Structure 1
Amino acid sequence: MTTSCVPSRKALSKITTNRLQKELVEWQMNPPTGFKHKVTDNLQRWIIEVIGAPGNLYANDTYQLQVDFPEHYPMESPQVIFLHPAPMHPHIYSNGHICLDILYDSWSPAMTVSSICINILSMLSSSTEK
């Protein structure tokens, strides 16, 4: 099922599908603290709720991340953005795009959705201005 507002995507490779299914099972058994995966039937797009860690500027604030996986994940990095309203942060653009090196030049196939989330929460937690 496609609609005009959803960009068409190539089908996931078998390697990608297997990797994402494995990550999803691991997430369900041991989710990273401060994150909740919103269950859908779309393995290629995950919606993740982020709850700001206690003791920082974003404590208890709730945001949503959208993670879109390319055809050849994990060899290619996923696109990770904050859905509106995005947190006010020096490394997050108003359109929700995140300036974080692991999502671009420093991407490694060893990274997982959980490790991405932990890095994003660390980025939020270390901010001294909102």
Structure 2
Amino acid sequence: MAYKRRLLKEMQTLLDLSIPGLKFIPTEDGINHWYVDINIVDNPIYDPAHAFRLEIVAGDEYPIEPPMVKFIGQEIPLHPHVYSNGHICLNILGDGWTPAQSIRSIALSIQSMLQGNTKNERPPDDERYISHAPQNPRSSGWVYHDDNV
């Protein structure tokens, strides 16, 4: 039940904060299921009026284990670390996760990743990955191609 206390605390903080370009949306499924709408305003690759939606689901082992995070919706942002099925290749969503991180830090990291993007493309192995990808991106054994994007 410690994860529920942590999520309640995070929820209160997120709903009280105003972070430019991020809108945190709790769902009716419980405190462990969130949507985050992300707007990217200073990158010509992305329309600043369009919000990309993240789905975040924290399991019973949160914050020891990272939550499941992926983009959902009709438009998945083009980025060399974002697959066309919405999965995100980012170390803090897997082996690089620590309990000091939070829903907020994940959203800020992904927003920053998109903000700094200079390549309007998918990962080089997008087609192969999505043809065999698990439903939950946490079940993927990520191979990090390029940390410079």
Q: 1:66 aligns with which of 44, 55, 80?
A: 55
Indicate the residue corresponding to 1:11 in structure 2: none
Indicate the residue corresponding to 1:100 in structure 2: 90
RMSD of Structure 2 on Structure 1 (CA): 1.3
Which consecutive residues of structure 2, in runs of 5 or more, have no partner in the other structure?
121-149
3-state SS of paired residue (1:21):
helix
Structure 1 residue 20 and structure 2 residue 7: aligned?
A: yes
Runs of 4+ in 1 over 4 A off after TM superposition: none
Which deviations, in whole Å up to 9, do the C-alpha atoms of 1:99-129 show, x marking residues without a partner? Answer: 1001111101000111111100111011112
Using the alignment, how far apart are the partners of 1:86 and 1:104 within structure 2? Answer: 20
Indicate the residue corresponding to 1:77 in structure 2: 66
3-state SS of paired residue (1:47):
strand
Indicate the residue corresponding to 1:89 in structure 2: 79
TM-score (norm 1): 0.83
Is residue 31–residue 114 contact of structure 1 (8 Å, CA) maintained in 2? Answer: no
Structure 1 residue 48 and structure 2 residue 36: aligned?
A: yes
3-state SS of paired residue (2:27):
coil
Q: Offset at 1:44?
A: 1.8
Q: Offset at 1:31?
A: 3.6
Alignment-mate amino acid for residue 110 of structure 1:
A
Q: Offset at 1:89?
A: 1.0
Indicate the residue corresponding to 2:25 in structure 1: 38
Q: 2:103 aligns with which of 110, 113, 126?
A: 113
Which deviations, in whole Å up to 9, do the C-alpha atoms of 1:25-57 show, x marking residues without a partner? Answer: 001111432111223232121011111132442
3-state SS of paired residue (1:80):
strand
Alignment-mate amino acid for residue 13 of structure 2:
E
Is residue 56–residue 125 contact of structure 1 (8 Å, CA) maintained in 2? Answer: no
